[in-house]
Structure formats: structure tokens, C-alpha cells
Amino acid sequence: MITALVVIIVSAALILGAVWGIYGNISKKLEGFLVALAGGALLVSAILELINPALQKNSIGITLAVVFAGAIIFTGLDYLIKEKWGSKSGGGLLAAITLDGIPENLALGVTLIGASALSVAALAGSIFLSNLPEAAGGAKEMAADNNSKKKILWLWIGTALILSVAALVGHFLLADTPEEYLNYIKCFAGGAVVASLALEVFPKAFKNEKYWTGVATAIGLILALYLNSLGE
């Protein structure tokens, strides 16, 4: 029951964000502020939830190599999407959410096994906080390129379903996976998050909101740190 609830919350953030971005009225400044806020939350997620566990328990050399691999692969896919496949709008953010989201949600599903209600609430809140504005900004950019709004919405719904399946697979099929390998899955996601922040999130936020981006990032970071502390 708890697993299903968290999966619904995480998926709802993407779908609600996409609906808001496509059909709502988001100013450029508000969009930039929200995306920067999401970036701050993702910083916490990448370091504390995805990378740090492996640094404490796994081989440091392999851990850092896997983080780097996640960043390299995301960067390569981002390049292909923008320069080769013709998507220079919200497709980059969609790729970011999908690439770092699949291993992150696999790990999320396993993390939910035996977790306390407070830990579950903190983790779900952090993911919701980062996914909602990212989806809103990405969907808005895709709609601005005169793409079919219905097609864009279904694309984001499909992404939400893929990530939901990843969480369920992690919960039911990876429960017996050694912690060492699970930590490496998280590290790969962490590397992808770092690359997406540098390539997609913060440049987009600064372009739209300029110097309030720093304040918004700090707010997102503080909120995510607080939620993380509740789960300890």
C-alpha cells in the first residue's frame, strides 16, 4: 500500500507538472524560479541519497567511476537529442528526468522495503519537489515549439508510467540484490543528475530568472535537506 502510494505521488508530480506547463499560465520568471528550486532539491538527492551511501560502503574508485559514467552517458544522450535528433526545447529535461529517474526509481522501490512512514514521506516529498517544476518547464518549452499539446502530455504520462514500473521492479524484483550493486545503480543516477543540473536545469533557470536563481536554488536545497532530516 505504501509503495503504491509513493509511486502515485512521484508519477503525479510529472503529470501535474506537464499539465501545468502545457495548459497553465507560467511566466518566464516563475518558471526559472521553480526550475532552480528543483535544482536545489536535486543537489541534495544526488549527493546524500544517491552518491554518499556508496562512498561510505563501496569501493571509492568504482563509485566515482560509475558516477562519471552516469554523467558521460547523460551528456552523450543530451547531445544526440539536441544536435542530432532535432529537439532543442524541453526534450533535454525529459531526457534528464528519464535517464536519472529510471535507476533512481529502481533504488527507490528497494528503499521502500521496511522503511518507516516518516522516511517514506521524506523521500516522496523530495522527489515530488524536484519533479513537479522540471516537468512544468520541460512541457512548456515543448508546447512553445507548436508541438501537439495532447501528444506532449501523453509523452509525459508515458514517462511517468516508465518510472512507476521502474519503482515497482525495484521493490518486487531487486529486493534481494546485494547492497553494493544497488549503491552503484544509485551512483549512476547521481552522475546523470549532476550532468542534467549543469546542462539543463541551472542554465535554463538563469536564462529566465537571472539572479533570483541563486535564492531559489538555496530554498530548494533547504527544503530537501529538511525533508531528508525527517527521514533519519
Report DSSP state, residue 89.
Answer: S
Res 86 pLDDT > 60: no
Average pLDDT of every residue of the chain: 81
Q: What is the pLDDT at residue 58?
A: 92
| pLDDT tens by residue, 99-115 | 667 776 776 777 676 66
- Per-domain residue ranges of the chain: 2-230
CA-wise closest residue to 95 among 76, 108, 75, 78? 78
Instruction: Give the pLDDT mean for 143-172.
Output: 83
Q: What is the pLDDT at residue 105?
A: 74
Q: What is the pTM of this model?
A: 0.77
Of the chain, the percentage scoring pLDDT greater than 70 comes to 81
CA-wise closest residue to 43 among 169, 214, 197, 179? 197
The residues, ordered by sequence, that sit 6+ positions from 127 with a Cβ below 8 Å of its Cβ are 9, 10, 13, 45, 104, 108
CA-wise closest residue to 229 among 103, 44, 105? 44
Res 47 pLDDT > 80: yes
**In the structure, what pLDDT confidence band is assigned to residue 141 with cuts at 50, 70 and 90?**
confident
Q: What is the pLDDT at residue 118?
A: 65
